[in-house]
Amino acid sequence: MRGRLTPTLLLLPGLAFLLVGFLVPSVAMLLAPPRTQTSDIFVRLGEMLVDPYELAIIGRTLLLAVIVTVVCVVFGFPIAYLLARTGSRWSGILLALAIFPLLLSNVVRTFGWLVVLGSNGAIGQLLTGLGLIDKAPQLLYTPFAVVLGLTQLFLPLAIITCYSAVSQVDAGLDDAARGLGASKTRTFWDVVLPLSLPGIVVAATLVFAGSVTAYTTPYLLGGSANRVLSTQLFNYASVTLDWAGASATALIMTVLVFAASAVSSAIGRKGATS
């Protein structure tokens, strides 16, 4: 009896902190914001789901999140594979460099793109200096800028998640496949990739959820012309003081994240049983 109670007692402080610090504020924001009835939230939600402007924001948010997720997985997994399979003594340093951006503030990293993508930024000056164009292109406050910023933000997360998955795949399986005549490419596609699928799914889920809920990067790089759910939520909560609209927007974001988690769990289970 005593042995069974010990793990439970150890979990209680963390569960209490999670309940008070996360669940209670989240539920209050979703269902009981200031000076707003719960019924008003669902009425506002219904209005948003038939409003072309709101639907465009939802669609833009989903499109940007999907693009960023695909880019991060496509670039992140090969990097993680090379880092996990390299026998170099520099592998630890290379991994640290790959995930180093996670140690920097999101605001600092995003501000760097303001300097690079601005009309007088490095890219514009380079193109005009080479004589390729007469006028610097408008790269800032575009969907391209948002995708670029979010990719830089979440690529290290995708790398470290995929690295953990690849590291758990026994390297001896690679040698066994090569010994049976498989090429490096076929070994990668038929052995490493399927066994790493759960980690890839987790990486994609984390990147997608982060992209849907990210605020600073879309706000600074996208501007008002490329509003997404997170910036719309801020507008409702801090500018127009439309608490029902803010809660409805937060509810949509929550549903999207949980839907992505459900899909990824189904894909992970299917990959584990196949």
Instruction: Give yes or no for residue 16 having a pLDDT over 60.
Output: yes
38-52, 176-190, 204-218, 225-239: least confident range: 176-190
- Please report which confidence band the pLDDT of residue 76 belongs to, taking 50, 70 and 90 as the band edges: very high
pLDDT at 235: 92
pLDDT at 240: 86
Long-range CB contacts (< 8 A, 24+ apart) of 58-62?
58/229, 58/252, 60/143, 60/226, 60/227, 60/228, 61/212, 61/228, 61/229, 61/230, 61/256, 62/212, 62/256
Most confident of 107-111, 176-180, 259-263: 259-263
pLDDT tens digits, 172-195: 777 787 777 777 777 778 788 888
Alpha helices in the chain (DSSP H): 2-18, 24-31, 38-48, 52-85, 91-99, 106-117, 122-129, 143-167, 171-179, 184-187, 193-195, 197-213, 216-222, 229-234, 243-273
Query: Could you give the angle at which helices 91-99 and 143-167 cross, rounded to 10 degrees?
Result: 140
With beta carbons less than 8 A apart as the criterion, state whether 165 and 83 touch. no
Look at residue 169 and give its three-state secondary structure.
coil
Q: What is the pTM of this model?
A: 0.84
Q: What integer is the mean pLDDT of 80-94?
A: 79
With beta carbons less than 8 A apart as the criterion, state whether 154 and 109 touch. no
Instruction: Give yes or no for residue 238 having a pLDDT over 90.
Output: no
pLDDT at 48: 92
pLDDT at 107: 84
The alpha carbon torsion through 18, 106, 228, 39 (nearest 10 deg) reads: 20
Q: What integer is the mean pLDDT of 193-218?
A: 91
Superfamily of domain 59-224: MetI-like (1.10.3720.10)
Q: What's the Cα-to-Cα distance from 204 to each of 37, 55, 162, 197, rounded to whole Å? A: 36, 24, 10, 10
173 or 143, higher pLDDT: 143
2 or 164, higher pLDDT: 164
Half-sphere exposure of 197 (CA within 13 A, CB side): 16
pLDDT tens digits, 33-58: 777 777 888 888 899 999 999 999 99
| Percentage of the chain lying above the pLDDT 90 cut | 31
Q: Is the dihedral of CA 244, 245, 246, 249 positive or negative?
A: positive
pLDDT at 131: 67
Going from N- to C-terminal start, the domains of the chain cover 59-224
